[in-house]
Structure 1
Amino acid sequence: MKRLQHYDAPPDGGWGWMVVLSSFLSHVFVVGGLKSFGVFFPYFREEFNEDAANTSWVSSIQGAVVFFGSGVAGALGNRFGCRPVVMTGSLVAAAGLISSMFVTSMASMYVTTGLVTGLGFSLMYTPCITMVGLYFSRRRSLATGIGLSGAGVGVFAFPPIFQLLIDNYGWKNALLIFSGIVLNGSVFGALLRPLHLKSTLRPVKVENQESDHEEQAIGLCNRVSNTFGLYLLKDPYFAVFSVCQVLFGFGAFVPFVHLVAHARDLGIEPQPAAFLVSVIGITDMLSRIGYGWLSDSGLFVRMRGYTVCVAGFGLCHIFVPFASTYPSLVAYCLFFGLFQGCCACQVAVILADICGVKKLGSAIGLCYTVTGLALLFGPPMAGRLFDVTGNYKVSFFVSGGLVLLSLLLLLPLEIHRTVTTRKDQFPDAVDDVDKDYRVIKQINNIDEPENDSDILTSELSSPFIDMETTV
């Protein structure tokens, strides 16, 4: 029998680059397809004779389920392995797309295209990000950025492809062809070879068989908490960052649902309007790779750079109501893709900094789950504002305002990190800094806590102390 190979640390290369390829392809199909579904938006409205708000729920449910299901996908990946979860997800997503060909009402589209396809996408998405984080340490930002850059490729490629397929075969057959593309997830899912780290091996415990019902109930609650990572909510830094992601999500998905319709309302032809989403994909792809490399270089603090990019992202939305020509919309898309790519490639890296690599799967799943709230209600909210006002100006104003609101939470985190880091300059603060460093190292190398008391013994004053030197 072949003996499993256990690594002392992430290999930072080798088969890890095949895992990065798998993550890249996952983002091409999942994120690219998800964010390009706005091309179908006008045809869904015409087919089912629905208003913008009701039609928006198709993409909203799909995007929300992708993120809501991240917690489940992370738990399934921990239990059964990432490889079978991703391969199963491709089958589920393809089944949902094929079923959408036979629906006769918008409510049915909510189930097939929204719920079923979204669930399949979720199973394909989260495990790939987690595996990249496990295979890389020193070059984690670069590897994550390369993997996530597939989203930009998908966003660039799929809108004109979808429009071409719709023009020649109709929207139903376009979904059928896309389902065949999604089935390739079974191929790249097979690339996710499991990685066994020595530090993740759990000691075998011998327990007394006798226990009362109260102990059994507590044990069950602890197992549920550990499986889905609910204990992470006790970490104030993780909780605040997750809330920021919710506010960020209100602006992240609105353009991909409503931008094509907004452009067509301005008198732009369907094919050029669909190409606007592709323009977003160009800078999105380049920024994910480039910003990931810069983040690993140590030229700036990750959280500080992320905060600046969120500010730029929100200001892009504020600009849309003043963009009434095609060149101005192209300029908006270029900057929108730039800031979105920079923000997106840092989420998993910052979560690894906060929670540690071994909790990364649970952290990503839980963070993306709460982000699903914004994806669920953001586009319908923008659609309702369109139905009331007759244009999308207010929709983009509100979306940008919610993104900028997240700065009120991010700025205190960055200020606290800066103040804590400056303690290094004073001799009497050395002991405190060393203590924080030891706590960070301990959190990144111990198993998930078995109960709530374990959480309380590992409080961390600041997880952002010189991340470039501690991770």
Structure 2
Amino acid sequence: MHGLSFSNQNAIIGEKLIMKTACTSLYMMQSGVTKSFGILYTELLVTYDAGAGNTAWIGSLQTFLYFSMGPIANYLAVRFSFRTVVMTGGLLMSTGYLVSAFVPRIEWMFLTIGVISGFGGGLLYSPCTTLVSFYFEKRRALANGVVLSGSGIGSFLFPYFFRYAIDTFGFHGAMFLISAVVLHMCVAGALIRQPHQLAKRKRLSDDEPEVNANQTKQRLFKRKKKPIVDFSLLRIPRLAMYVISLTINIFAYSSSFVVFPAYMQSIGLEGHEITIALSMVGATEVFARSFFGWLADLKIFEKKTIMIISAAASGTSAIFIPFLRNFPAMIAYGCVLGIFPGAFWSLMAVAMLDCVKLDRLPSAMGLLTMFLSLGLVLGQPSMGWIDDATGSWDMSFRVMGVCYYISGVVLLLEPLIEKIWCSDPDEIDNHHELPKEEQIKMLTNDENDAKSSGDISDHFHNGTMLSDTSFKANASNSKVTVSNNQLEKTAPIVTLMDV
């Protein structure tokens, strides 16, 4: 017995390590490609002689779809499987870059890199962010930090890879190589296994026997279909404040990967120097994201406090960088950019779990990523337009710095706003739950649904069907009181004995 228990424990540990490895690899490739868009951006400006603002829309559209697809991707991952969704996303993302190798005009890049690759990346990002929280509990923040550090590895390696591919094979030839590397996401996706909590729920649904249309209409309680985008979560004040703060933060953070390399080019740095400075972002992210996750698990500081300090440091560095115009200063800023904004993203999933329970995390993360897409779609083009209007990237950096500050102030004011929002102490339970009436309603529906599914399955597995007579006998013994006259409106076919 002891040996069996030890074997099961090893299997669980091995499963967690495989999930962590798969998600880290996916983040490495996806974020590496995305954050290296600055290298492609400068090449697009030269190759197609395009405007800075309009060209920035390509990367902005791509990252917009990464995040706006979050609710749909998580819905499909729960409905089908994380593995299927992630592998499909990897295939689409690879296809987008492959087709880009044959594109003669920059307008087509909006479709290939922007839409096709962006749509594929959208099927990857949110499921990977959500998945790891199902497999770790005690060290959840650290696990998320380690997985997100894959973004740092990709940010460190891929700029060199992009630069080498472009210098050796030209811009269009480099698209072939990028497509081949991205295709390896399908391999990493094949390692993913559906979380036990979601797999069990799906098995209960699959085991439920098929019944005819009349019997289906006669069920006492029908499971209410959950919307793909659950806007009711915005009624949770803490979650709403995190959504606002993270959206403003990503407006500035995503812009950095267009503004920073373009600024270095404008002050006369060489291509290899730009690549080195960008790689510093990834190198520091590898350690910073794991460190902030570890620090959050120690619970010495609140997650919110860590994020506020991160926002202040990010804003200060962005405002002062235009005064520095040498290579060592760019290296230093690359390190700051990798360390401090990274705290926001390494703590994103665990911050959501401060607002909702684990079973609602897919919906919460999907909603969050949808709002993040708004910051993404506006960030990079806005910075490009500011450069077009002013002829300098200095003002873009200052706007980014102000946005970082605002994101921190929103979190700083969160207790006050939550207090005003929840003036009735009975309105919100523990400051991060839905109103009690909503909780009771959801709990009642879920319990009755679960019982209904279980009873039907048991009777069918035993080869028997509930008759109207047997139901009446069971119902007469039930002590359950059903609201809004559901018993009068429907003809139930399942027992209510243990609901």
State the TM-score, normalized to the length of structure 1: 0.82
Partner of residue 449, structure 2: none
Partner of residue 405, structure 2: 404
Partner of residue 385, structure 2: 384
Counterpart CA distance in 1 for 2:312 and 2:432 is 33
Which letter maps to 1:223?
K
Partner of residue 238, structure 2: 237
Partner of residue 294, structure 2: 293
| Mapped pair 1:228 → 2:229 | yes
In the TM superposition, what is the alpha-carbon distance from 1:178 to its structure 2 partner?
Answer: 0.9
In the TM superposition, what is the alpha-carbon distance from 1:234 to its structure 2 partner?
Answer: 2.2
Q: Secondary structure at the match of 1:223?
A: coil
Counterpart CA distance in 2 for 1:119 and 1:61 is 10
Aligned residue runs from structure 1 range 371-450, under 5 A: 371-414=372-415, 436=430
Partner of residue 163, structure 1: 163
CA contact (8 A) 1:100 1:109 kept: yes
Partner of residue 462, structure 2: none
Counterpart CA distance in 2 for 1:15 and 1:309 is 33
State the TM-score, normalized to the length of structure 2: 0.78
Partner of residue 40, structure 1: 40
Q: Secondary structure at the match of 1:355?
A: coil
Q: Secondary structure at the match of 1:138?
A: coil
In the TM superposition, what is the alpha-carbon distance from 1:290 to its structure 2 partner?
Answer: 1.0
In the TM superposition, what is the alpha-carbon distance from 1:48 to its structure 2 partner?
Answer: 1.8
Partner of residue 315, structure 2: 314
In the TM superposition, what is the alpha-carbon distance from 1:262 to its structure 2 partner?
Answer: 1.1
Count of paired positions = 421
After superposition, what is the alpha-carbon deviation per residue over 1:54-78, rounded to whole angstroms, capped at 9, x for unaligned?
1111111111110111111111111
Judged with a 3 Å threshold, the aligned counterparts in structure 2 of structure 1 residues 121 and 437 are, in CA distance, closer, same or farther, namely closer
Which letter maps to 1:68?
S
After superposition, what is the alpha-carbon deviation per residue over 1:203-240, rounded to whole angstroms, capped at 9, x for unaligned?
889997559xxxxxxx99x6252x33332122222122
Judged with a 3 Å threshold, the aligned counterparts in structure 2 of structure 1 residues 325 and 354 are, in CA distance, closer, same or farther, namely same
Counterpart CA distance in 1 for 2:34 and 2:321 is 22
Judged with a 3 Å threshold, the aligned counterparts in structure 2 of structure 1 residues 237 and 49 are, in CA distance, closer, same or farther, namely same
Which letter maps to 2:178?
F
Judged with a 3 Å threshold, the aligned counterparts in structure 2 of structure 1 residues 449 and 409 are, in CA distance, closer, same or farther, namely farther
CA contact (8 A) 2:238 2:418 kept: no
Which letter maps to 2:83?
R
CA contact (8 A) 2:53 2:383 kept: yes
Aligned residue runs from structure 1 range 19-418, under 5 A: 19-197=19-197, 201=201, 209-210=216-217, 223=225, 225=227, 227-414=228-415
Q: Secondary structure at the match of 2:194?
A: coil
After superposition, what is the alpha-carbon deviation per residue over 1:418-460, rounded to whole angstroms, capped at 9, x for unaligned?
99xxxxxxxxxxx99xx739969x99x9997799xxxxxxxxx
Q: Secondary structure at the match of 2:355?
A: helix
Judged with a 3 Å threshold, the aligned counterparts in structure 2 of structure 1 residues 243 and 439 are, in CA distance, closer, same or farther, namely closer
Counterpart CA distance in 1 for 2:257 and 2:168 is 23
In the TM superposition, what is the alpha-carbon distance from 1:415 to its structure 2 partner?
Answer: 5.8
Judged with a 3 Å threshold, the aligned counterparts in structure 2 of structure 1 residues 238 and 449 are, in CA distance, closer, same or farther, namely farther
CA contact (8 A) 1:61 1:115 kept: yes
In the TM superposition, what is the alpha-carbon distance from 1:249 to its structure 2 partner?
Answer: 1.1
Partner of residue 215, structure 1: none
CA contact (8 A) 1:12 1:135 kept: no
Which letter maps to 1:264?
Q
Counterpart CA distance in 1 for 2:123 and 2:440 is 27
Which letter maps to 1:109?
M
Counterpart CA distance in 2 for 1:352 and 1:276 is 35
CA contact (8 A) 1:98 1:175 kept: yes
After superposition, what is the alpha-carbon deviation per residue over 1:248-270, rounded to whole angstroms, capped at 9, x for unaligned?
11111112122112111101001
Partner of residue 456, structure 1: none
Q: Secondary structure at the match of 2:392?
A: coil
Which letter maps to 2:120?
G
Counterpart CA distance in 1 for 2:408 and 2:90 is 36
Counterpart CA distance in 2 for 1:322 and 1:365 is 39
Judged with a 3 Å threshold, the aligned counterparts in structure 2 of structure 1 residues 267 and 376 are, in CA distance, closer, same or farther, namely same
Counterpart CA distance in 2 for 1:242 and 1:438 is 14
In the TM superposition, what is the alpha-carbon distance from 1:329 to its structure 2 partner?
Answer: 1.3
Counterpart CA distance in 2 for 1:332 and 1:241 is 26
In the TM superposition, what is the alpha-carbon distance from 1:166 to its structure 2 partner?
Answer: 0.5
In the TM superposition, what is the alpha-carbon distance from 1:362 to its structure 2 partner?
Answer: 1.6
Judged with a 3 Å threshold, the aligned counterparts in structure 2 of structure 1 residues 261 and 401 are, in CA distance, closer, same or farther, namely same
CA contact (8 A) 1:283 1:341 kept: no
Judged with a 3 Å threshold, the aligned counterparts in structure 2 of structure 1 residues 182 and 89 are, in CA distance, closer, same or farther, namely same
CA contact (8 A) 2:238 2:431 kept: no
Which letter maps to 1:436?
N
Counterpart CA distance in 1 for 2:298 and 2:12 is 15
Judged with a 3 Å threshold, the aligned counterparts in structure 2 of structure 1 residues 198 and 388 are, in CA distance, closer, same or farther, namely closer
After superposition, what is the alpha-carbon deviation per residue over 1:136-158, rounded to whole angstroms, capped at 9, x for unaligned?
11110111111000000000001
Judged with a 3 Å threshold, the aligned counterparts in structure 2 of structure 1 residues 55 and 447 are, in CA distance, closer, same or farther, namely farther
After superposition, what is the alpha-carbon deviation per residue over 1:158-183, rounded to whole angstroms, capped at 9, x for unaligned?
11110111011011111110111111
Counterpart CA distance in 1 for 2:334 and 2:46 is 26
After superposition, what is the alpha-carbon deviation per residue over 1:351-399, rounded to whole angstroms, capped at 9, x for unaligned?
1221121111121121011111111111111011111111100011111
Which letter maps to 2:277?
L
Partner of residue 469, structure 2: none
Question: Share of identical aligned residues, percent?
Answer: 30
Judged with a 3 Å threshold, the aligned counterparts in structure 2 of structure 1 residues 309 and 395 are, in CA distance, closer, same or farther, namely same
